[in-house]
A and B are shown apart, each in its own frame.
Chain A
Amino acid sequence: MTALLRPAIVLFLILTGITGFVYPFVVTGIAQAIFPTQAGGSLIVRDGKPVGSSLIGQSFSDPKHFWGRPSATSPQPYNGLASGGSNLGPLNPALTDGIKSRIEALQAADPANKAPIPVDLVTASASGLDPDISLAAAYYQAPRVARARGLAPDAVRSMIAAHARGKLLGILGEPRVNVLDLNLALDALK
Chain B
Amino acid sequence: MTPASLALIAIYLIVMLALVKPMGLYIANVMEGRPIWPLRVGAGVERLIYRLSGVDAGAEMGWRRYTIALLLFNAVGALAVYALQRLQLWLPLNPQQFANVSPDSSFNTAVSFITNTNWQGYSGESTMSYLTQMAGLAVQNFLSAATGIVVVVALIRGFARHTAQSIGNFWTDITRSTLYILLPLSTLLALLLVGQGVVQNLSAYKDVPTVETLAYQQPKVDSAGNPVKDAAGNPVLENMTTQKQTLPMGPMASQEAIKELGTNGGGFLNANSAHPYENPTPLSNFLELLAIILIPSSLTYTFGRMVGDTRQGWAVLAAMCILFVALVALAVHSEQLGNPRVAALGVDQTASILQPGGNMEGKEARFGIGASALFATIATGTSTGAVNSMHDSYTPLGGFVPLFDMQLGEVVFGGVGTGLYSMLIFAIIGVFIAGLMIGRTPEYLGKKIEAFEIKMSSIAILVMPFIVLLGTAIAVSVADGKAGVANPAAHGFSEILYAFTSAGNNNGSAFGGLSANTPFYNTALGLVMWLGRYWPIAAVLAIAGSLAAKKRVPVTAGTMLTYGPTFIILLIGTVLLVGALTFVPALALGPVVEHLVMWGG
Contacts and interface: CB of A to CB of B under 8 A. Distances in A.
B210 interface: yes
B446 interface: no
Contact of A127 (B72, B212, B359, B364): B364
Interface string B46-78: 000100111100000000010011001101110
Contact of B276 (A11, A55, A60, A123): A55
A58 interface: yes
A23 B195 CA distance: 17
A16 B139 contact: yes
A53 B207 CA distance: 10
A174 interface: yes
Given A32-B201, A83-B270, A99-B347, A125 B362 contact: yes
Nearest to B249: A41
A18 B69 contact: no
B7 interface: yes
A40 B250 CA distance: 9
A86 B251 contact: no
A26 B251 CA distance: 11
B355 A14 contact: no
A19 B178 contact: yes
A136 B348 contact: yes
Given A20-B138, A91-B341, A120-B355, A85 B362 contact: yes
Contacts of B349: 119
Nearest to A103: B345
Interface in B176-219: 178-179, 182-183, 186-187, 190-191, 194-203, 205-206, 208-212, 214, 216-219
Given A11-B73, A31-B200, A127-B275, A86 B362 contact: yes
Interface stretch (B104-112, B148-156, B481-489): B481-489
Most chain A CB within a 10 A radius of its CB, from B211, B367, B372? B211
Interface string A66-104: 000100001111111111111111111101100110010
A182 to B, nearest CB: 11
A149 to B, nearest CB: 14
Interface in A110-131: 116-120, 122-131
A24 B251 contact: yes
A187 interface: yes
B436 interface: no
A69 B364 CA distance: 9
Contact of B219 (A38, A75, A78, A118): A75
Majority secondary structure, B binding face: mixed
B80 interface: yes
Contact of B365 (A27, A32, A133, A183): A133
Contacts of B211: 51-52, 58, 60, 65, 180, 183-184, 187
A5 interface: yes
A69 B245 contact: no
A56 B283 contact: no
Interface in A140-190: 167-168, 170-176, 180, 183-184, 187
Contact of A41 (B206, B240, B242, B371): B206
Interface string A24-39: 1011101110110011
B353 interface: yes
Interface stretch (B391-399, B449-457, B574-582): B391-399
Given A24-B251, A56-B276, A82-B126, A76 B218 contact: yes
Contacts of B138: 19-20, 23-24
A105 to B, nearest CB: 13
A120 B365 contact: yes
B236 interface: no
A43 interface: yes
A77 to B, nearest CB: 7
Given A8-B73, A10-B53, A124-B362, A90 B171 contact: no
A18 B179 contact: yes
A1 interface: yes
B80 A10 contact: no
A18 B358 CA distance: 45
Most buried by B among A38, A133, A134, A173: A173
Interface of A: 1, 4-12, 14-16, 18-21, 23-24, 26-28, 30-32, 34-35, 38-43, 49-53, 55-62, 65, 69, 74-93, 95-96, 99-100, 103, 116-120, 122-137, 139, 167-168, 170-176, 180, 183-184, 187
5 contacts: A12-B73, A26-B187, A35-B195, A58-B210, A119-B360
Interface of B: 4, 7-8, 11, 49, 52-55, 65, 68-69, 72-73, 75-77, 80, 123, 125-126, 134-136, 138-139, 142-143, 171, 174-175, 178-179, 182-183, 186-187, 190-191, 194-203, 205-206, 208-212, 214, 216-219, 240, 242, 245-249, 251, 253-255, 258, 269-271, 274-277, 280-283, 285-286, 338-339, 341-342, 345-349, 352-368, 371-372, 387-390, 392-396, 486-489, 491, 494, 511-513, 594, 597-598
Given A19-B258, A38-B195, 14 more contacts: A18-B179, A18-B183, A52-B209, A52-B245, A89-B392, A91-B597, A103-B346, A119-B342, A120-B360, A126-B362, A126-B388, A126-B389, A168-B282, A175-B354
